[in-house]
Structure 1
Amino acid sequence: MYLLPTIQDVTNVLVALNRFLALLFPLIFRNFFTRRLTLVLIPCSILFSFTSCFVTVGAPGFFLDITSQDNTSAKIYMLHADSKLNFPMINRSTLITAHIFVCSGFTFSIYCIIAVHIFRSKILANSNELRLLLLGFLIFLANIPSFAYQIYWAIMQSDGSEDVFMSLPWVVLTKTLSPPLLMLVTNEAMRRQL
């Protein structure tokens, strides 16, 4: 419920950056998004997502995920080294919601910059790269129901919302499977090998 969606949010940013470089700066794109670097970026997005799910960067101590006694809210707690007491630090849902807004905002902004460049440019873009751009944007739009459920679940802390989220398999599959696959397909060298 937490880690996979946040990984895909970061991967969506990488796909948008990939399309941005491919259409606006093709020379940098060929040097930056090599096969090796593409395969490294996906695990890096996983590590970055761990920070949003489990750790508040810069805070001292060690964080544990402990469910409160009423089983309705899960919070991140700091284990104090001296007293061995758990101190509530921040609601984990706040981190997830912030992560969604930041990643989705970056992704949407990059797509808007690309669209403005395409409309203002007199030179037609490579049709293959343009089709991949449209595919990436459509996948981003298909993730909107998932964003809405994540944010609703984070804000409302409703017991039944995760059941609603899981009962819509197309939302889950689109969110979790499409960005990494698109990340591999948008890599030019890897695309030639398919």
Structure 2
Amino acid sequence: MIYASDCVRRKPWGLSFEAEPCEIAGLRKALRLHLTLWGLPELVESAQLCVTELTSNVIKHVGAGTPATLAVSMSGTRLRIELHDPDARALPTLLSAEGEAESGRGMTLVDAVTDRWGVILRVDSKVVWCELATGLTDQNGHTGGPRVAHAEEYLALYGAARHPRPTVSGRLSAAVAEEAAIDLIADLLHWLRAHGCDPDEALDRAQMHFESELA
């Protein structure tokens, strides 16, 4: 039987940019794209808030146009966001911003939506990082949902029929499960054609359903 419980590949990624207000929208868009591909759409809003605030801190306290790097990865089952900049002196501070205060809210917001955050100081740079809980039980796992649960049931039945011998769980089983999913889609397209249906139209409709549920 094929096990697809840990088949989400979340490779670390990063973007270098100049810390300008106009860059924030692009960073937020890239973050949304990657987290959606990672199967973590529920973290998009909080992660975008963190990136916005961390970038704004660099612009305000280090200077507009400062070269910076956004790095996103998994830290165990947490999502880790890092912002690298070349100033080891301007440190983020958690303030109690009350009332109508226009400043001091940045790290307070980050602190509110994350599990933890901190600063790594280097000789000529610093890294401000934060981590968000994902609800995952394994770094390569997924957060589930009815459709994912149904897909796993179908893949298990399909895999048992196509591959009677059990496969080893882990990275190998993830790759095998991906191939099984592709084979299953191909077989369903053949079934649709054999019954007089249009496979291309079915794919388009499935894609529309998929994208509408991600929105």
| Same fold per superposition (TM over 0.5) | no
**CA radius of gyration, larger in:** 2
Comparing both structures, which one devotes a greater share of its residues to helix?
1
Q: Return the structure number with greater relative CO, CA threshold 8 A, min gap 6.
A: 1
Comparing both structures, which one devotes a greater share of its residues to strand?
2
